[in-house]
Amino acid sequence: MTVAIVRRSIANPPMLLAALFGWLSAAAWLRPLALPDEGRYVGVAWEMLRSGNWLVPTLNTLPYFHKPPLFYWLTAASLAVFGLNEWAARLPSLLAATGAAFALFLFARRWLSERHGELSLLILATTPFFFGGAQFANLDMLVAAFIACTILAAADAVLDVEDGHPWRLSLAAAYAFAALGVLAKGLIGVVIPALVMLAWLSYLGRAGTLLRLVWLPGIALFALLVVPWFALVAARYPDFLHYFFIHHHLERFTRGDFNSQQPFWFYIPVFAGLTLPWIVFLPRVRKESAPAEFQARNLRALMWVWLLATLVFFSIPKSKLVGYVLVAVVPMAVLIAQGLLQDAPAARAMRARVRFSAALAALVCGAALAGGLFYERNNMRELFLQARPLIGPLDEIVALRTYPFSLAFYLKRSQPIPVVEDWDAPLLLRKDTWRKELFEASSFVDPARRGALLLRPQELGRYLACARHTVWVISEEEAAASHPAVAGLERVASAGKHTLRRSPPAPASGTAAGCP
């Protein structure tokens, strides 16, 4: 993605979209699914596709209500069309990033200038944080794209009201994008846009315009898109609404016992580091007072409010994940474009800085991509590819003190996997890990099904002794060596810390004493 490519594409939107998508999806099919996030969310989508149950997301066939279903719907549809591969798994994130970048280009071109549009697009598409998010199969890019489109559409409606232009179509789009944001990740899909618009219009003294954004047809459209799924799931699982909204929204925001606890200032160095080299130009954005700059000043205020409100909002809870602030890259791109274009007397020097920074940013993106191809944290694709030709269709798989999220994806399995762990240990379940996710998911099913999927360590020996088919035990080597029923089994494959061991069927087809 270079300045020349962007400029050649300006007059041809299909070409621009193709160039954007081609850049953002470069080599997206080569890297294995990262664990836990990509394996978890793609695994849920794969279960949805192969089960045919598009209402209830499931993790290891257990109801998984941490997040709404939109990402799973889109990913399952992509897997159905393009097959079970990494590119198809990442396609929703790639399309979301392409759409958000294109929407920013259209908005900046309309309300600022064509040069603002093309430079904002170039900065956004080559920012390593945005580029990496586009190639990651989780919910962060999807919800960031919908939040960005909600804010841009709402701002478009506000500016149309100010200029006396038709505004209802833009506002309807804002409500629709907000609804999709809620279906993508929850309440932040509407809370962040509402916070940004409230702060921006309050700063501008536009209380009357703020009231016009509360639009009954838009609210009806929002409810029409959001309510059905929540209502249908709540009718089937009465505890769902409390679990989803109270536990995974209110308590996650206010309590400190969730994962990745970080200090308040955590996002400042992280965001700065992930947006290099462009972030160094942010201090160049200066305040203009000329009357001709009235529109630009208002939009500059919007982008500052958007950037700061997002960073501050997600800095409040103790639980912090990097992807939460991905949406803040969008206003940063516009602000930096404005700052660079303010230097009209030094246009030649500005163009040189832009070319150098774009080349450097693209190089950083390429280096990060290359690094991901050689190293992927907790990569288990190699183990599963070794195991796929060995495991028969009737064979069983048991996970000992681990849960390989990407196993079903790579082995194309449809059967659930019993997981062996100390499920009665209270300290174990206080940590916000895969163990807690599975345990909480099992609370939505009957005790018999829970007991069949969540095994205690002392139950594994009997399980293997009674198995009617070959059982494959996957675990880290240390856990396998410490369990008497597993340590002596044949080790068939290994990759990294994990091993796969084989237990033959029980004699006489599982009629040993004590077997059910």
pLDDT one-digit tens code per residue, 216-229: 999 999 999 999 99
**What number is the average pLDDT over the span 173-182?**
97
Q: Tell me, what amino acid is at 414?
A: S
The predicted structure's pLDDT at residue 200:
95
- 91-100, 351-360, 397-406 — most confident range: 91-100
Q: Please compute the mean of the pLDDT values over residues 82-94 and round it to a whole number.
A: 95
CB 301 within 8 A of CB 203: yes
Among 8-12, 80-84, 338-342, 435-439, the range scoring the smallest mean pLDDT is: 8-12
Separation CA 152–CA 437 (nearest Å): 35
The larger pLDDT score, comparing residue 275 to residue 351, is at 275
- pLDDT in the model for residue 193: 97
CB of 302 closer than 8 Å to CB of 111 = no
In this predicted model, which residue has the larger pLDDT, 255 or 305? 305
Sheet with 498-503: list strands edge to edge: 454-455, 419-420, 396-400, 471-476, 498-503, 490-495
Lowest-confidence region among 37-46, 267-276, 405-414: 405-414
DSSP 8-state secondary structure symbol assigned to residue 446: -
Segment 157-185 shows an average pLDDT of: 93
Helix, coil or strand: residue 420: strand
Which amino acid belongs to residue 232? Answer: L
**C-alpha–C-alpha distance, residues 496 and 220, integer Å:** 52
Q: What is the pLDDT of residues 460-505, one digit of tens each?
A: 999 998 888 999 999 998 888 889 988 889 899 888 788 999 999 8
In this model, does residue 150 exceed pLDDT 90?
yes
Which residue type does 183 have? L
Give the model's pLDDT for residue 378. 53
Q: Among residues of the chain, what percentage have pLDDT more than 90?
A: 54
| Cβ 170 vs Cβ 218: under 8 Å | no
- Chain centroid to CA 496: how far? 26
> How many whole angstroms separate alpha carbon 419 and alpha carbon 408?
14
pTM above 0.85, yes or no: yes
Radius of gyration in angstroms for the set of CA atoms belonging to the chain, rounded to a whole number: 25
| CA angle centred on 44, ends 39 and 45, rounded to 5° | 100
Evaluate whether 314 touches 324 at the Cβ level (below 8 Å). Answer: yes
Can you say whether the dihedral through the CA atoms of 449, 454, 456, 458 is positive or negative? positive
248: its two tokens = 């995974």
pLDDT score of 143 more than 80: yes
Higher pLDDT, 260 or 266: 266
Least confident of 9-18, 395-404, 466-475: 9-18
Residue recorded with tokens 């969310």? 41
pLDDT over 60 (residue 512): no
**Residue 286: predicted pLDDT:** 66
Measured between alpha carbons, how far apart are the two ends of the chain, in Å? 63
Whether the predicted pLDDT of 7 surpasses 70: no
The pairing of beta strand 58-59 with beta strand 62-63? antiparallel
Could you read off the pLDDT of 90-133 as tens digits, one per residue? 999 999 999 999 999 999 999 998 889 999 999 999 999 999 99
Over residues 359-385, mean pLDDT: 78
Which of 3-12, 276-285, 438-447, 467-476 has the lowest average pLDDT? 3-12
Compute the average pLDDT of residues 403-429. 87
Q: Which of 383, 63, 469 is nearest to 236 (CA)?
A: 63
Q: What is the per-residue pLDDT for 379?
A: 67
Burial of 322 (0-12, 13-18, 19+ CB in 10 A): middle
Q: Tell me the per-residue pLDDT of 428-462, one tens digit each, with 9 for 90 and over.
A: 777 778 888 899 999 999 999 999 999 999 999 99
Mean per-residue pLDDT, 158-186:
93
Residue 166 gets the label, from left (phi > 0), alpha (psi -120 to 50) or beta, of beta
